Amino acid sequence: MLGNAGAAAVVFAATDIDDIVILTLFFVAARTTGRPRRRQIVAGQYLGIGVLAVASAVVAAGLLVVPEPWTGLLGLLPIALGVRALLHRDDEEPPAVATGALGVAGVTIANGADNVAVYVPVFRALGPADSAVYLLVFVVLVALWCAAGAWLGGHPRVVRLVERAGHWLVPALFVAIGVVILATSGVLSHLPTLIP
């Protein structure tokens, strides 16, 4: 069981290291604008990771087939959030890219194409008991990730940076995350097949 827990921790850390940056930005926004609230960030992160894990388990069980490159279209969500924040920015404070738990969950899910790509083969290889161990480890590590994001989001240097440049930096980071998702997923090379 300890071996499975360690492997689950490695899988989670490898696929969610980028979430630390996103969580930090959310916690800075919560501190400076009040949106999203801290509890909404935590709830949204749990909801997003939960959706990714359940979807991966369903795909691993063969109950749903999604052509892998098309999951890259999820990259449009952080792009849309970033562009919206740039267009509706207030020069006096960093924009709230996501204002509630569903927005946080949406960004987490959109950023989770790599999670699904890793979780599906892992869950396919595991039995129900081992999968349960993985999910339990994921639950614990989401709390740790949120704590790390909250700590970084409360660090004076990080807060000062976001306060100084956040009106363009935060939305630009979300647009960049979306572009990376689109570019690395392979979905862009499949788009010409949709055009008659």
Q: Note the pLDDT tens digit of each residue in 146-165.
A: 999 999 888 888 777 766 77
80: left (phi over 0), alpha (psi -120 to 50) or beta: alpha
- C-alpha distances out from residue 35 to 38, 130, 145, Å: 8, 38, 19
The tokens of 99 are what?
Answer: 């204002």
Does residue 54 lie within any of the structural domains? yes
User: Residue 95: what are its φ and ψ, rounded to 5°?
Assistant: -70, 150
Does residue 42 lie within any of the structural domains? yes
Please tell me whether the peptide bond between 121 and the residue prior to it is cis, using omega within 30 degrees of 0. Answer: no
**pLDDT higher than 90, residue 140:** yes
Does residue 193 lie within any of the structural domains? no
Report the residue count for the chain.
196
Which of 50-59, 69-78, 95-104: highest mean pLDDT?
Answer: 50-59
* pLDDT tens digit sequence for 70-86: 666 767 777 887 787 77
Q: How many domains does the chain have?
A: 1
Does residue 154 lie within any of the structural domains? yes
Q: What is the pLDDT of residue 123?
A: 83
CB 52, CB 109: distance < 8 Å:
yes
Mean of pLDDT values over 175-181 = 77
The tokens of 132 are what?
Answer: 């349960």
CB 25, CB 84: distance < 8 Å:
no
Does residue 176 lie within any of the structural domains? yes
Closest by CA position to 51, among listed 101, 95, 1, 125? 101
Does residue 15 lie within any of the structural domains? yes
Does residue 196 lie within any of the structural domains? no
Domain of residue 33 covers 2-188
Does residue 6 lie within any of the structural domains? yes
Q: CA-CA distance, 104 to 34, in Å (whole number)?
A: 14
The tokens of 41 are what?
Answer: 């960030």
Q: What is the pLDDT of residue 87?
A: 79
DSSP 60-94: HTTS----GGGGGGGGHHHHHHHHHHHHT-BTTB-
CB 29, CB 94: distance < 8 Å:
yes
pTM of whole model > 0.75?
no
